[in-house]
């Protein structure tokens, strides 16, 4: 059930089998599998899943190619709730390993927040990442286009950028490397530094070889209408027309609550085994937070794998959760 603050406070004396941090595709898929394994589950979601940006998911098997991330999450949440899983809108501040259980300190509400501590035997980190965006004075100008034709994922949207005039927005030379992969789909590429960093002579040579442009002047804003970005206006007033943008400015990893637990990372991503178990035997990581391909369909499979392994673990310990035996016929 969808838990109110009061209901969450009543859950503080129980131990869930699994707490799932994050109600995106990975967390919801895990929750669906867990509940179907008869494991008690609570998903804690802070909102703002990366997939909420996705106006159209073009590559998710089983859904029409104009399905939105929002619709996927809505369907997945209803599915999970229909299996009697608990769901709480809240922010996980800190996870503590108590040995047999984890204690999660959770903040509910933004203004006048209240705090509860919830416990579980296993933890699934499905809290994902969020892409850094260009920082303009008017951030609404950025949000107007992000997820429409201001893309953050080459794999997801390269196909749509075929032959288009595409601007790549980076935060350092390394982040601009994506332009060479984008070159698979289009050769009309302009790289924007916003004047925020310098690039090496070697990099400039490579751009020249590929025929890509480098624009180092500071940026002012995107132009366009109805969520369709049609170019970038520089601070000096120059307008650079574009058909699409690709933001490659790194990501924020939503994993601060794990800081007190020793886990193996690679970059910002959690290292996991084939069933998505981290270096901690009772913590799993799924979706964008783990090392791997950041795709919705992969995140959904991640959730299934983690849930299945947790079921195997608990089943080996407990044996059965069958209802009391009926009289034999």
Asked if 178 interacts with a second copy (CB under 8 A), we say no
Q: Which residue of 5, 11, 58, 107 would you call a contact of a second copy, by CB under 8 A?
A: 58
199/306 with CB nearer a second copy: 306
Q: Which is nearer to a second copy, 28 or 44 (CB)?
A: 28
| Residue placing its CB nearer to a second copy in the complex, 38 or 133 | 38
- Asked whether position 211 contacts a second copy by CB under 8 A, the answer is yes
Q: Mark residues 1-40: x for contact with a second copy by CB under 8 A, - for none.
A: ------------------------x--xx--xx--xxx--
User: Rounded to the nearest 5 degrees, what angle is found at the Cα of 82, between the Cα atoms of 287 and 26?
Assistant: 0
Q: Contacting a second copy (CB under 8 A), which of 72, 95, 286, 289?
A: 72
By CB under 8 A, which span of 9-17, 107-115, 256-264, 319-327 interacts with a second copy? 319-327
Size of the site for a second copy (CB under 8 A): 62
- Rule CB under 8 A: say whether 163 interacts with a second copy: yes
Report the half-sphere exposure of 310 (CA within 13 A, side-chain side): 36
Question: Which one of residues 3, 153, 246, 304 is an interface residue with a second copy (CB under 8 A)?
Answer: 304
Nearest to a second copy of 58, 107 (CB atom)? 58
> Considering beta carbons, is residue 200 or 320 the nearer one to a second copy?
320
Given 109, 113, 195, 241, the residue binding a second copy (CB under 8 A) = 241
What CA–CA distance (Å, rounded) separates 46 from 36? Answer: 24
Q: Which tokens sit at 14?
A: 């129980």
Tell me the window of 40-48, 76-84, 95-103, 248-256 that interacts with a second copy (CB under 8 A). Answer: 76-84
321 contacts a second copy (rule: CB under 8 A): yes
Question: Is 219 near a second copy (CB under 8 A)?
Answer: no
Query: Three-state SS across the chain?
Result: CECCHHHHHHCCCCEEEEEEECCCHHHHHHHHHHHHCCCCEEEEECCCCHHHHCCCECCCCCCCCCECHHHHHHHHHHHHHHCCCEEEECEEEEEEECCCCEEEEEEECCCCCEEEEEEEEEEEECCCEEECCCCCCCHHHHHCCECCCEECCHHHHCHHHCCCEEEEEECCCHHHHHHHHHCCCCCEEEEECCCCCCCCHHHHHHHHHHCCEEECCCEEEEEEECCEEEEEEECCCCEEECCEEEEECCEEECCHHHCCCCCCEECCEECCCCCCECCCCCEEECHHHECCCCCHHHHHHHHHHHHHHHHHHHHHHHCCCCCCCCCCC
Task: Write out 252-295 in H/E/C secondary structure.
Answer: EECCHHHCCCCCCEECCEECCCCCCECCCCCEEECHHHECCCCC
Is residue 59 part of the contact set for a second copy (CB under 8 A)? yes
Quick check: 55 binds a second copy (CB under 8 A)?
no
C-beta of 156: minimal distance to a second copy in Å? 9
Q: Which is nearer to a second copy, 59 or 172 (by Cβ)? A: 59
Residue 300 binds a second copy, judged by CB under 8 A: yes
Residue 48 is a binding residue for a second copy (CB under 8 A)? no
Contact footprint for a second copy (CB under 8 A): 25, 28-29, 32-33, 36-38, 58-65, 67, 72, 75-76, 79, 82-83, 155, 158-159, 162-163, 165, 181, 183-188, 211, 241, 274, 292-293, 295, 297-298, 300-305, 308, 311, 315, 319-323, 325-326, 328-329
């Amino acid at each position: 059930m969808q838990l109110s603050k009061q209901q969450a406070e009543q859950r503080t004396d129980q131990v869930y089998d699994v707490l799932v941090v994050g109600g995106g595709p990975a967390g919801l898929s895990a929750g669906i599998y867990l509940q179907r394994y008869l494991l008690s589950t609570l998903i804690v979601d802070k909102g703002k899943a990366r997939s909420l940006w996705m106006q159209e998911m073009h590559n998710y098997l089983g859904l029409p190619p104009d399905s939105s991330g929002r619709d996927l999450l809505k369907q997945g949440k209803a599915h999970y709730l229909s299996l009697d899983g608990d769901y709480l809108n809240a922010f996980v501040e800190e996870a503590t390993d108590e040995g047999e259980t984890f204690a999660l300190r959770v903040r509910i509400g933004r203004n006048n927040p209240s705090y509860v501590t919830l416990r579980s035997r296993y933890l699934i980190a499905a809290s994902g990442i969020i892409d850094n965006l260009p920082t303009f004075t008017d951030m609404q100008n950025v949000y107007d286009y992000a997820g429409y034709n201001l893309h953050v994922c080459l794999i997801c949207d390269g196909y749509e950028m075929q032959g288009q005039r595409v601007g790549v927005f980076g935060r350092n030379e390394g982040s601009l490397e994506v332009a060479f992969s984008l070159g698979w789909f289009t050769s009309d590429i302009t790289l924007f530094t916003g004047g925020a960093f310098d690039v090496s002579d070697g990099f400039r040579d490579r751009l020249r070889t590929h025929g890509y442009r480098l624009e180092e002047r500071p940026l002012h804003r995107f132009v366009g209408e109805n969520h369709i970005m049609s170019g970038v206006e520089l601070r000096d007033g120059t307008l650079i027309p574009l058909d699409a943008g690709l933001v490659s400015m790194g990501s924020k990893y939503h994993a601060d609550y794990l800081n007190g637990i020793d886990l193996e990372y690679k970059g910002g991503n959690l290292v996991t085994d084939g069933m998505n178990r981290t270096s901690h035997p009772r913590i799993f990581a799924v979706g964008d937070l783990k090392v791997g391909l950041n795709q919705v369909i992969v995140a959904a499979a991640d959730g299934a794998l983690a849930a299945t392994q947790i079921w195997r673990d608990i089943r080996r310990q407990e044996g059965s959760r069958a209802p009391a035996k009926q009289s034999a016929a």
